[in-house]
Chains A and B, each alone.
Chain A
Amino acid sequence: MKHKTFFWFILPSLAAMTLFIALPIVSVFIQSLFVGHEQVLVVSESCGPFGCSQTTSVDLEATEKLREEAPLGQFNGLGTYLNRSHLAFAEIGVAWAETDTWNDFWSVVGDLPFYRALAFTLTYTAVVTPLVILLGLAIAMGVNTLPKLLKGPSIFVSLLPFLVTPLVGSLILFWMVDSDGVIGATIQLIFNDPNLSLKASAALTWTMLIVYGVWHTLPFSFITFYAGLQTVPDDIIEAAKVDGASKWETTLHVVVPHLMPLVSFVTLMLLMDNFRVFEPIVSFSAEAHARSLSWIIYNDLRESGNPLYGSAGATSMLTIIGVVILLTPVLLRTWRDFNRKAH
């Protein structure tokens, strides 16, 4: 394609991407460099049905003046990125100097909000992604060998978890694992422990969130792989059979390599999705045991009286950087494969 033709061809998508992806990210980045204005406080008397008392309130005129002088807020540079709610280098430095064992050091780091969230987010991503790929592949192959009559219904059933809105799906599961719910009560019966609660222990809460994550995203990898399986050429399979390959060997050496580009694609999508895990934490009321990066952003903005835009912006940028780091190996691999094929 000529360069000029290519340029005109790509222009609409380029413009859309700049407008809807690049510019918002730039704006979030700029916002993350600023913090709120100084709130000028005045002491005044406040009265109501429960009596009078001295309280502080915001001096609106003085604060408004500051706001007009600099609408974006006070410039803070990378201060927000480095504070206790984010990378917390100062706190980690202190912990490093003051703790004697690795265990103590990690427990201090794990208590800092950003690292605590990062620990859960990474664990979730690292467990859910491979499980979903392997199980998705297995189910796709299973369904593919079913008789034609059963294929349609089983595909439909396998897709169901994907059709349920995440918030609703996790809420239903949350009620089921309640100690009065069907799953919770059954588990209590099995372990013969009437006090066993899935919601009260951190390990069980993490397990529950991960199981939910696998259940909810499995249909995506299943349907992608199932579509891929339809493109495996019959003659290669037959050739493998003729060469005496067992069913297992055929799968491992013929079918899986054929699906590799799809595996890369599914991995990319899953890494991005899982790194942004959010809804199940809210629906499961799991904040006491598990917080993710997205949940921190939500929490900063949810405090509606004083939404912390800078803080939320900084966490968003750090999340983007995290996604980029996670995706790099997969992207590199795809790039290498592409080059190998091109030459």
Chain B
Amino acid sequence: MYIRHLMMAGVMSTLMGSAAFAAGHAACGPEGQSVRILASDFPAIHAVAGTAEENCASGAAEFTRNHTTEARQIMNAALTPNPAEYTSVIVANSTLTQLMNDGLVRPLNDLVEKYGDNIPDNLKISIDGNVMAIAFMANSQHLFSRSDILAEAGVDSVPATYDEMIAAAQAIRGAGIMEYPIVMNMKTGWNVGESFNLAFLAHGGEFFKPGTAEPMVNSEAGVAALNTLKALVEYAHPDHLTQASNETQALWEAGEAALGIMWGSRGAAILDDEGSTEQVTSNTVLSAAPSVEPGGKPGATLWWDGFTISTNVSDAEAEATFAALASALTPEMVAANNDDAVWLLDGFQPGAAAAGVSATAQGGAAPYPMLPQIGLMHNALGAELTDFLQGNESAEKALQDVEAAYMTAAKEAGFLQ
């Protein structure tokens, strides 16, 4: 219950009695420093980094932001030299471990003490007592449904379990409304691996033997997860192995899908008045990701986005960067960009676009695992599962291949001997 409570606190932002933050020049840390931020490229990240720039650029010798979808690919190389190319990287669960594996981000405890009055404890990502990142927004996959099409097919409630979702898809196909009502991000590689993760966690799966890097995906939960995926993609377009977020969002906005498991961060983009028709947007309902049993664990991974500070920069630069980014986490920034994200910050008013992520988090979905070897496992899943989904081999064989591919890679990376 404690965890659920904390999540409600974060996601619904009901519990945050943050101290009034003294905005302005004084909070910006040492003057004349260089602040260089590397981040992904979506509106919420622009809002945070942009506000930091507005607040503190005048006192800094240099304030640069590099927003790129390739941030994850370049960050380790960019932070390795001393001095590092960037003083801060805005990361998520999986990318934080990628930086921590190489020791490229520094513990923030002293900086939090000095500049973090407005940062509640649950946003401090701590590992063994060291605060390594400050989270500010949440994301997860969840269910999108078209209420008008469900009603037309005689389905009277939004599906809550995988079985209900499949039954609803069957009803829609049976009624001759759509041949392929389901959309999911199943593109070979990272996306299909992530789709497996969702169903795997919903079935109660564990990726590794606790405390080790020994794989455990070839399990009952693994087979059940694959069978769930297979049953779902029966109702997805035959091209599903080439579809990721951009494609699934486009199909949804074109009115060619009625049930979708997509990212919460696409919610605002789908519900806005651009790229779609009134009929689609007004009937799109965002709800929790489906579970296996009613009331079970939703099939989703919870993600946070947050900022880190590089190890290989001077203490003064680190302090200036932290202060600038911390100064952006205010209710005013949230109010100005309310619908861009599911903010974990004070002042957030959950709108329609946030409903799915909130419900998924409250349903007790698992966070994306923060393990140093998870990237290798994810890669192996992404490469090996398509054989099963195309019907070329059994679920057991596909999972055996995943474990074999993972173990080969993990041995080379030094996680297994």
Using a CB–CB distance below 8 Å, which chain A residues touch chain B? 35-39, 41, 43-58, 60, 64, 74, 80, 83-85, 111, 113, 178-179, 194-195, 197, 199-200, 202, 284-289, 299, 302-306, 308, 310-311
Contacts and interface: CB of A to CB of B under 8 A. Distances in A.
A55 B371 contact: yes
Contacts of B415: 39, 41
Interface centre among A47, A48, A64, A287 (most CB of B within 10 A): A48
B408 interface: yes
Interface in B358-416: 361, 367, 369-373, 375-376, 379, 383, 386-387, 390, 393, 401, 404-405, 408-409, 411-415
B379 A299 contact: yes
A104 B402 CA distance: 20
B10 A49 contact: yes
Interface string B64-107: 00000000111110000000000000000111011011010000
A56 B416 CA distance: 14
B401 A306 contact: no
A51 B242 CA distance: 35
A57 B97 contact: yes
Interface in B149-201: 179, 187-189
B6 A49 contact: yes
Contacts of A311: 408-409, 412
Nearest to A60: B103
A300 to B, nearest CB: 8
The secondary structure that dominates the B interface is helix
A49 B122 contact: yes
A303 B132 CA distance: 22
A318 to B, nearest CB: 15
B72 A288 contact: no
Nearest to B379: A303
Given A60-B103, A304-B98, A50 B386 contact: no
B212 A56 contact: yes
B414 A35 contact: yes
A305 B375 contact: yes
Interface in B127-152: 127-129, 135, 138
Nearest to A35: B412
23 contacts: A35-B411, A39-B101, A41-B213, A45-B127, A47-B124, A48-B123, A48-B124, A48-B135, A49-B138, A58-B100, A83-B411, A83-B412, A202-B390, A285-B241, A287-B383, A287-B386, A303-B375, A303-B379, A304-B72, A305-B94, A305-B95, A308-B409, A311-B409
For the complex of A and B, the 4 pairs showing the least CB-CB separation, nearest first, are A51-B3, A200-B238, A305-B98, A44-B128
Contact of B405 (A37, A85, A305): A85
B414 A305 contact: no
A303 B97 CA distance: 13
Contacts of B74: 304
Interface in B1-16: 2-3, 6-7, 10-11
Given A49-B123, A304-B76, A74 B7 contact: no
